[in-house]
Structure 1
Amino acid sequence: MRNLAFYLASLLLFCPLLAKSGSPALNDDVLGLIVFKADILDPLSKLASWNEDEDDPCGWTGVKCHAKTNRVTELSLVGFSLSGKIGRGLLQLQSIQKLYLSKNNFSGSLNPKLSQLESLRVVDLSENNLSGVIPDEFFGQCRSLRSLSLANNAFSGHIPPSLGSCLTLAALNLSSNRLSGSLPEGLWSLYGLRSLDLSSNSLVGQIPGGISRLYNLRSISLRQNRLSGRLPDDMGSCLLLKYLDFSVNFLTGSLPDSMHRLSMCSHLRLASNLFSGEVPTWIGEMKNLEFLDLSRNWFSGRVPESIGKLQLLKSLDLSRNRLTGGLPESIGACRSLTDLDLSGNSLTGNLPSWVFELKLQRISVSGNKMSGCISVGVSTTSDPTLSYLDLSGNAFSGAIPLVLGNLLSLQQLNLSGNLLSGSIPASILALETVEVLDLSRNLINGSIPLEIGKAVSLKELRLEKNSLAGEIPVQIGNCSSLTTMILSQNNLTGPLPPTLSNLTNLYKVDLSFNRLSGNLPKQLSNLPHLLSFNISHNLFSGDLPAGNFFNTISPSSLSDNPGLCGSVVNRSCPTVLPKPIVLNPNSSTSSADTSLSSKNSRHKKIIFSISAFIAIGAAAVIALGVITITILNMRVRASTDPHSAAALALSDGYYSNSPSTDANSGKLVMFSGSDPNFSARAHAILNKDCELGRGGFGTVYKTILRDGRPVVIKKLTVSSLVKSQEDFEREVKKLGKPRHSNLVALEGYYWTQSLQLLIYEFVSGGSLYKHLHECSTSNPFSWQQRFDIILGIARSIAYLHRLNIIHYNLKSSNILIDGSGEAKVGDYGLAKLLPMLDRYVLSSKIQSALGYMAPEFACRMVKITEKCDVYGFGVLLLEIITGRRPVEYMEDDVVVLCDVVRVALEEGRVDELVDGRIGGKFPAEEAVPVVKLGLICTSQVPSNRPGMNEVVSILEMIRCPQEHLEDEST
């Protein structure tokens, strides 16, 4: 086939005259398609019908021809799993009008001659692996192209300036690529353009004026770029515009008044920008609006009454702004409204009756200052459609309405953080549709209703910080979907129901600060997904369940239970001995023994006394023997244990570069090829005096090489879990390859079956954690130093990701500062040394990274990817900027840094976020986007987090925006 393809390609190159007559022209299409096929792989044999021996391709799969000329007019191979390059064979299809190759695995660059085909009208190459820059001549020579989609590929570089020459374009989609630079000036010259999608790229700069020239424009999306500045004043001149999405950018200022002329617009999405001022009253003039999203901006003032004029409005999202005042009654006129989100503002007043009368599907007014009773009319439940209700974080009071139990479609109910009192309505717990029920942080009393057993779909139950009493119902064992159960800080009593062991999906349980008692059911050890089980500050007693999670449970999760025993709580359990046999000397079995009773009684007492003496003596001898043997074993182990200093003698050839297989000597490898001997004697290595610290994976020591260079030795504490030398060495050698100025270099390693050491370069300046949280305030990091540290960390993680290395354990204590103030990232990739570990063991090894761990660590079914590092980096960024720890434990609360930063940013208090030790000496134009970047990196959804290469680019742009623009324009 390859030789045939070469021959055919030669024909196409040197015999162009074949296309001048009817039948040879038909062969020209056949030859072109066969050459195209020869350049690709067809794993599913979708193109099996393409036969080079045929003269007519019109019956081939995916091919359509003109009815009269039999020339190929359309090629549609969508979703065929084809791969390879889109070759020049297609250039022979001189009559082709439509080319659909989307949803395949094509790679390589875009052929600039493709657009020269005179008849070509539609090209869709979306959802492939095409890369490189878009050739400037592709647009400069396009003749009749009306629709082009290159979406979801890997194109990079600028959008070619020649785009403005492709005047026939009506639809252009370049979304989800890696395009950079500013919008080309010629973009607004495409007068026939009806649809424009440049979303999910890295475009920068302002949106240029002149968009009013696109009088045919119906849809425009610039979502998720880095565009800045104000919207063009002529934005409202595109009178036919129906869809506008500029979300997730850095756009500022107020909305242009001209936008009120967009009366045809049905979708207006401007979320996650920096818009300010009041929500304009003219918004009510956009009568065709169905979706209005102004969330996550800095809009202030009241919610305009004019919104009530939007009769077609289906979704209204004004969340995460700085809106004040009450909810206008006029919104009750929006009879089409199904989704309402006003959360994260400063709204006051009562909850209007229309909130429940509009038959909404989703309601959220959380995080405001609303008060009063929650009033739900009986008519609300006549046609129940509400599936999501979030009134949390307000000051609502009174009882929980009973009629909420009639909302038969309700899936999530969050009333937490209010002043609600009374008992939990049994009707709510009886709802079979509820998946999340959060009534925490209220004044609720009474007991947990037995009807909870009917909540078969319940996944998350949060009732903490109330005044609940009574026992945990055994019926809770019927909630087979339950994954999270938080009942802490109540007055619950009684034992744990053994039916908890039926909840095989549980991964988080918190029963702390109650008065629960009794033994823990042994069957709890069978729960396969358990990651957290906190029963501290209760009255539990007895031994812990054995095995699985409970072998590594944190002692803090068990504290203040005086009756608990076992090695974890450092309290021995009482030995259970068989009940002694006690004979009554006065008893008799027959009258004949009566006369001997007195004598036998005395004799038996003597015998029992002697037996007691013998038993006590035997016990003492056994105990002494056990102690003696233990001491001897310890001495023997001390003399032979490879952990001992003697086993670590690095002189006399004990450590060698040669791959020794002697179990007594081990194997030492130095990646630099330097002399492996150490100048320190054996007693100085792994000596307590040389210990620098302890981490999740091991203890760290300092020693000196023979050439006088200091190094750090990490003794892995998980040696018993590492069984394969081959796997260990393969991963360590992979970790020894990275060389980056912001990485702590791995110099070598030492291996035995029971001991593994990693040898790192020594960094003198101490950890970032120490500088941020433990050092004096006399010489704190400046803004410039903090920015440099953040950028250095970002560059090193991006470098690791390019090498397919995930850090797994990113936190400030693993970032070292060298003598020049440069950040160096350490402990990267160590989790890969433990291939046999499951998700829980991994997370328990890095539990000290609490606050840095991405939420997907809690789900066993989700693959851990580079986006977990991005989350940890985001937390680390915010920690460096604020000088605060990721999680801070107060007397009666837990403060999460990401939440604090998010609220402060939304309220415009960035100056309060930056570490006060800087003294206000920082540029606000850098602080705001840096903080915003940190929050984007800590998104709960992994796909919403940027890649680390993108993070580096954003940081570099923030540091020198003008220089960045100039660099990209050259």
Structure 2
Amino acid sequence: MMQFLLFLLLLFAPISVLSVDPVFNDDVLGLIVFKAGLQDPKAKLSTWNEDDDNPCKWDGVNCDPTTHRVSSLVLDGFSLSGHIDRGLLRLQFLRILSLSKNNFTGSINPDLLLRLGSLQVVDLSENNLSGSIPEGFFRQCGSLRSVSFANNNLSGKIPDSLSFCSSLVSVNFSSNHLYGKLPSGMWFLRGLQSLDLSNNLLEGEIHEGIENLYDLRELRLQKNRFIGRLPGDIGGCLLLKLLDFSDNFLSGTLPESMQRLNSCTSLTLQGNSFTGSIPDWIGELRSLEMLDFSANRFSGWIPESIGNLSSLNKLNLSRNQFTGNLPESMVNCVKLLALDISHNQFEGYFPSWVSLTSSPASYHSLQVLDLSSNAFSGELSPNIGAHNSLQVLNMSTNNISGSIPVGIGQLKSLYILDLSNNKLNGSIPPEIEGAFSLGELRLQNNFLSGKIPAQIKKCSSLTSLILSHNKLTGSIPAAIANLTNLQYVDLSWNELSGSLPKDLANLTRLLSFNVSYNHLQGELPVGGFFNVISPSSVSGNPSLCGSVVNHSSPSVHPKPIVLNPNSSYSNSSTSSLYHGHKKIILSISALIAIGAAAFIIIGVVAITVLNIHVRQKISRSAASFALSGGEDYSCSPANDPNYGKLVMFSGDAGFDDGAHNLLNKDSEIGRGGFGVVYRTVLRDGHSVAIKKLTVSGLIKSQEEFEREVKNLGMIRHSNLVGLKGYYWTSSLQLLIYEYLSRGSLHKLLHDEDEYSRNILSWRQRFKIILGMAKGLAHLHQMNIIHYNLKSTNVLIDCSGEPKIGDFGLVRLLPVLDHCVLSSKIQSALGYMAPEFACRTVKITEKCDVYGFGILVLEVVTGKRPVEYMEDDVVVLCDMVRGALEEGKVEQCVDSRLLGNFAVEEAIPVIKLGLICASQVPSNRPDMAEAVNILELIQCPSEGQEDLE
């Protein structure tokens, strides 16, 4: 009712306003109408009262002291949601409008500047605005000095009308989905000081004329798709302090004019295809504090002039083709904090300033030193401990010889030490205990000998201990069991002996433990990680015993009684005695065998009885929890192990008396990498799906489990399977999901009986693809990576909408790691992104994009990702890519559609699937981009009824 009255007030305002104070009415009315269309969960606008004469004391509102009209509206971080209502258009004297860090949706109002001609600052950043920037938005922007639409979901092109805003000082459209070329008039904004268009889809060349922006201080164009060379006149922007062109497709050499950028403090060209050598004039940019030329195609030697950059604190030249050595002049770069020259072709001995044989004390501020993957030789300096600020020291994959200096123990801030893949010899110095901040110690593939020092227990932060492929001897020190943060241990391919310390089973965070190919013996530890350890992780140790290696411990048996047949008895007596004793010997052997068999049978019976007992407990537990519900309702005293905790996120529906069938085989409807799924019925008659988690050995504590599950329960989207509740005991964890009767996408696509009843039409398939994209995009917006995307995890509801299930389950594991993830999703053959096979590549949302790409191809073609023929294996992605190259892509569409599909949709969809399934993660689009592309591909519904 209030909104309706406000609407009437707004509608008839020109008449009614004459009878009240004209100074304040428009401002109060406009803001109240604006508020009426918002959700304000934190009551940030509680001071906004329509009965007030003026709004000048309202939170977020400022007024001009002379006119008492609203001049500034700043609501940053108020947690508001809704649309930016037209009520703001009544604030005729508004100069600053800042609504950043909220959850506003909808599109940008094209009349904002047209009606509010006095606006100087517009900041709508960090919201969920969508659509394009209206072409007419900037047509009347005479007063506008700063505009920011950063971190939204905007698409389309940058309006050409932007070039009309001659008073603009700052423009920020970063982190959207804008595409197309830069507006031709962009370089005529002569007053522009800051331009940020980073993280979009902009393309084309960066044309010349940029020198007209003689006031420009910051230029950020990174993470786009620009091509060609840098503009040759860029050196005309003499006031430039920050220049970032990283992660584009730029090429060529650096323009000579850049040597005039004497004010530049940050120059970043990372991730392009620039060639040539670093020019000598680089030393003239004496203000540089950060220089990043990494991941390009630069070559040649590093010029001596780089030593003139005395203010430099970060230098990254990694992943290029540089040769020679580092110039000694770099001894003058005394402020350097981070140096990364990895993955080049540098060679020779380390310069004196690296080995600290002649460098000044002020150089000891270095925190990151990465010289890995080059051809450096020589020995590590005994003075290495003087780099006492080092946090990362990586000299792996070189030709370094000699021993590890004891000075390594002086690096008290060191977190990563990687000297792997060299020619180091000698032992691991006990002084390493001094580097107590170590988190990763990697010394594999060297010639190290001697024992693993017990003093390593002082490095209590260690998460990775990799010492494989050396010549280490002695036993594994029991002190390692004190390193409670350990996750990865690799001691394989050494000469270690003795038994494994039993207390290793107490390392609760352990994800990988490899001691293969040593001389270890005795029993494997029992419990914890060692209950699920892979046999390959302990292979090559013949004397190790335990169920994992299928080798029992040697038992002590009494020696059989053996009589000497060559005694002094007569032949007949001898023969008689011999045969008699032979019978005795056989009888004793038989008794031993019978005893052993009886012992085994008793053991089997005992284990069977125990299993029945445990199953009865679980069944009683499931039945008991199912008899009640409600938020955080515990069914029994906490000290009774037969009862658990049931939590339903909405309503109080529990399970009926049939809940004891919950975990029965008859109720099973599916299996996956994280557990078995059953169907049961709530008391209110609604069916639900119950996932019994089978990762109990890896699962987090109850507190962490409940926090993560409750967070997942808050996620709501029409294309995501809803989580309704959960059940917890220390030995049994269940997740309660909505039940979808049509089953999985895999069933609809590949079940022959299902196909004979109902073949999915092209329109239904497109709807499924678009729905999957929207659901996955929403997950990524919530910073959730699925990791296990496949057609069995996509369910279809009664209206044909897809719903993605099993999302967020990896959050229930203690650490997200390649090893654990691969083991959990090994059933996802064909859907796994190639980066899962490389431990050094970070897993990101792009691995989900890969799986989505495979799903797209699966839906369009009706074929599985990998199909095994009689004498061949067909990989779907390769087959479709080959058809595309041969111009036969239409033939890939499922033949059961009988040609009844929209070619103008099918081909672009197939191409999108191939792009998403690119081997290179950076080539794959974001899911939000994929949604936009699909909506552009989608044909109008008119005239397509025949495709249904």
Alignment of 1:141-220 (within 5 A): 141-164=115-138, 165-220=140-195
Residue number among 455, 458, 462 corresponding to 2:442 in the alignment: 462
Residue number among 492, 503, 511 corresponding to 1:531 in the alignment: 511
Q: CA deviation at 1:177?
A: 0.7
Which moved further from structure 2: 250-259 or 44-53? 44-53
1:244 equivalent to 2:219? Answer: yes
CA contact (8 A) 1:370 1:396 kept: yes
Q: Determine the structure 1 residue equivalent to 2:76.
A: 102
CA contact (8 A) 1:810 1:852 kept: no
CA contact (8 A) 1:807 1:828 kept: no
> SS at 2:525's partner residue?
coil
Q: CA deviation at 1:404?
A: 2.8
* d(CA) in 2 for partners of 1:12, 1:385: 69
Give CA deviations for 1:554-574 in whole Å, capped at 9, x if unaligned. Answer: 111111111211111111123
> SS at 2:282's partner residue?
helix
Q: Determine the structure 2 residue equivalent to 1:408.
A: 388
- What amino acid is aligned across from residue 338 of structure 1 in structure 2? N
Q: Determine the structure 2 residue equivalent to 1:770.
A: none
Q: CA deviation at 1:356?
A: 3.9
Cα distance, 1:288–1:300 mapped onto 2, change above 3 Å: same
Residue number among 806, 810, 813 corresponding to 2:788 in the alignment: 810
Structure 2 length as normaliser, TM-score?
0.69
* d(CA) in 2 for partners of 1:838, 1:286: 46
Q: Percent of aligned pairs with the same residue? A: 36
1:301 equivalent to 2:276? Answer: yes
Alignment of 1:845-860 (within 5 A): 845-846=823-824, 848=826, 852=833
1:518 equivalent to 2:494? Answer: no
Cα distance, 1:792–1:369 mapped onto 2, change above 3 Å: farther
Cα distance, 1:112–1:138 mapped onto 2, change above 3 Å: farther
* d(CA) in 2 for partners of 1:837, 1:347: 41
CA contact (8 A) 1:831 1:842 kept: no
Q: Determine the structure 1 residue equivalent to 2:322.
A: 347
CA contact (8 A) 2:308 2:332 kept: no
* d(CA) in 1 for partners of 2:169, 2:497: 69
Q: Determine the structure 2 residue equivalent to 1:661.
A: 658
Q: CA deviation at 1:807?
A: 8.1
CA contact (8 A) 1:811 1:852 kept: no
> SS at 1:244's partner residue?
strand
CA contact (8 A) 1:458 1:482 kept: yes
Q: Determine the structure 2 residue equivalent to 1:680.
A: none
* d(CA) in 2 for partners of 1:424, 1:880: 52
1:829 equivalent to 2:806? Answer: yes
CA contact (8 A) 2:290 2:313 kept: yes
1:488 equivalent to 2:468? Answer: yes
Number of matched residues?
771
1:417 equivalent to 2:397? Answer: yes
* d(CA) in 2 for partners of 1:830, 1:36: 37
Give CA deviations for 1:71-93 in whole Å, capped at 9, x if unaligned. Answer: 64xxxxxxxxxxxxxxxxxxxxx
> SS at 1:523's partner residue?
helix
Q: CA deviation at 1:228?
A: 0.6
Q: Determine the structure 2 residue equivalent to 1:253.
A: 228
Residue number among 623, 628, 640 corresponding to 2:596 in the alignment: 623
* d(CA) in 2 for partners of 1:869, 1:244: 28
CA contact (8 A) 1:415 1:440 kept: yes
Cα distance, 1:227–1:843 mapped onto 2, change above 3 Å: closer
CA contact (8 A) 2:76 2:102 kept: yes
Give CA deviations for 1:602-628 in whole Å, capped at 9, x if unaligned. Answer: xxxxxxxxx999998876554343455
Give CA deviations for 1:191-222 in whole Å, capped at 9, x if unaligned. Answer: 11111111111011111222232111111011
* d(CA) in 2 for partners of 1:833, 1:396: 41
Q: Determine the structure 1 residue equivalent to 2:646.
A: none
* d(CA) in 1 for partners of 2:41, 2:821: 40
> SS at 2:97's partner residue?
strand
Q: Determine the structure 2 residue equivalent to 1:650.
A: none
- What amino acid is aligned across from residue 284 of structure 2 in structure 1? K
Give CA deviations for 1:122-171 in whole Å, capped at 9, x if unaligned. Answer: 11111111110112222332311111100011111111111222222111
Give CA deviations for 1:632-668 in whole Å, capped at 9, x if unaligned. Answer: 89999999999xxxxxxxxxxxxxxx98828579879
1:267 equivalent to 2:264? Answer: no
CA contact (8 A) 1:236 1:262 kept: yes
Alignment of 1:605-684 (within 5 A): 622-626=595-599, 661=658
Structure 2, unaligned runs of 5 or more: 560-583, 616-654, 678-689, 722-731, 752-764, 795-800, 858-864, 866-877, 890-907, 939-948
Alignment of 1:746-761 (within 5 A): none
> SS at 2:147's partner residue?
strand
> SS at 2:324's partner residue?
coil
CA contact (8 A) 1:47 1:61 kept: yes
1:380 equivalent to 2:359? Answer: yes
CA contact (8 A) 2:509 2:814 kept: no
Give CA deviations for 1:685-707 in whole Å, capped at 9, x if unaligned. Answer: 99xxxxxx99746899xxxxxxx
Q: Determine the structure 2 residue equivalent to 1:393.
A: 373
Residue number among 426, 434, 441 corresponding to 1:446 in the alignment: 426
- What amino acid is aligned across from residue 140 of structure 1 in structure 2? L
CA contact (8 A) 1:505 1:527 kept: yes
CA contact (8 A) 1:364 1:391 kept: yes
> SS at 1:480's partner residue?
coil
Q: CA deviation at 1:282?
A: 2.1
The one of the two structures with greater contact order (alpha-carbon pairs below 8 A, sep at least 6) is: 1
* d(CA) in 2 for partners of 1:538, 1:504: 24
Q: CA deviation at 1:348?
A: 0.5
* d(CA) in 1 for partners of 2:394, 2:696: 45
Cα distance, 1:793–1:869 mapped onto 2, change above 3 Å: farther
Q: Determine the structure 1 residue equivalent to 2:634.
A: none
Q: CA deviation at 1:189?
A: 1.1
Q: CA deviation at 1:503?
A: 1.2
- What amino acid is aligned across from residue 501 of structure 1 in structure 2? A
CA contact (8 A) 1:276 1:298 kept: yes
Structure 1 length as normaliser, TM-score?
0.67
* d(CA) in 2 for partners of 1:955, 1:283: 41
Q: CA deviation at 1:239?
A: 1.1
Structure 1, unaligned runs of 5 or more: 73-94, 581-610, 643-657, 671-684, 687-692, 701-713, 744-752, 768-788, 817-823, 887-912, 961-970
Q: Determine the structure 2 residue equivalent to 1:540.
A: 520
Q: CA deviation at 1:475?
A: 0.7
Cα distance, 1:209–1:62 mapped onto 2, change above 3 Å: closer
> SS at 1:97's partner residue?
strand
Give CA deviations for 1:770-791 in whole Å, capped at 9, x if unaligned. Answer: xxxxxxxxxxxxxxxxxxx999
